[in-house]
Amino acid sequence: MRTYFVFQAASMPGLRGYTDEPRASMFPAEYGPWILAREIGPNEEWNLDVSRAVVAAGILENGFYLSGPLKQAPPRSVIESDRVEGTAVYGPTNEQIGTIKRLIIEKASGRVLYVDVTFGGLFGMGAHHHTIPWDKLTYDKELEGYHTDITEEQLRGAPVFAEERRDRFDKDSERELQNYWLNRP
């Protein structure tokens, strides 16, 4: 067991940050300053409104965990994941370049970061999986699918999101994706 430090965002009542470090430097500065509110030792009772396991997972993944309201409004209204999965993706000239297979979600924030897009194949056999950033997609009501400025050629060149890599989407995989998509025109 470890000692946890609970910080309060001075600019936002209700927003707390958790870490196993006694300093607040890793928290997002835009919600600060961060004030130490409590220290919870390894043998102390955990009586907070968030699970110790959830906090521990967030710290393990990011170095911190945030709990409470954030000042930013979501860029789009909400939608269930099963309504996104299977939706067509259209390229710059409105040709279908693929279909969304799954969403890739950041554990700590819950934000969708990437989508696994499949193309090619027949009846699901021989389909290719490639990963693109979620923010490259915009829902197009007329097409009833997602529109992107990504071409099929760029999609084919994107890092592969094959079945055998699904359980290993780690920091190296994300760095590979970021490098690929940052270098696209």
Q: Whole-angstrom Cα distance, residue 177 to residue 64?
A: 23
- Distance, first Cα to last Cα, the chain: 48
CA-to-CA distance for 89 and 150, rounded, in angstroms?
10
Q: What is the 3-state secondary structure (H, E, C) of the chain?
A: CCCEEEEEECCCCCCEEEECCCCCCCCCHHHCCEEEEEEECCCCCCCCCCCHHHHHHHHHHHCCEEECCCCCCCCCCCCCHHHHCCCEEECCCCCEEEEEEEEEECCCCCCEEEEEEEECCECCECCEEEEEEHHHCEEECCCCEEECCCCHHHHHHCCECCHHHHHHCCHHHHHHHHHHHHCCC
- The residue-averaged pLDDT of 52-70 equals 81
* Average pLDDT, integer, range 78-96: 84
Q: What is the predicted pLDDT for the residue at 75?
A: 44
Q: Above 60 in pLDDT, residue 39?
A: yes
Model-level pTM greater than 0.85?
Answer: no
Residue range 77-86, pLDDT digits in tens: 567 777 788 8
Stretch 165-184: mean pLDDT, rounded?
Answer: 70
Q: Lowest-confidence range among 1-10, 44-53, 54-63, 85-94?
A: 54-63
The arithmetic mean of pLDDT across residues 43-64, rounded, is 82
- At residue 35, the pLDDT reads 93
**Dist CA 111 CA 107 (whole Å):** 8
What is the predicted pLDDT for the residue at 54?
82
171 pLDDT more than 60: yes
Q: Around 110, how many Cα atoms within 13 Å sit in the side-chain half-sphere?
A: 9
Give the rounded percent of residues in the chain with a pLDDT score beyond 90.
Answer: 12
pLDDT at residue 76 is higher than 50: no
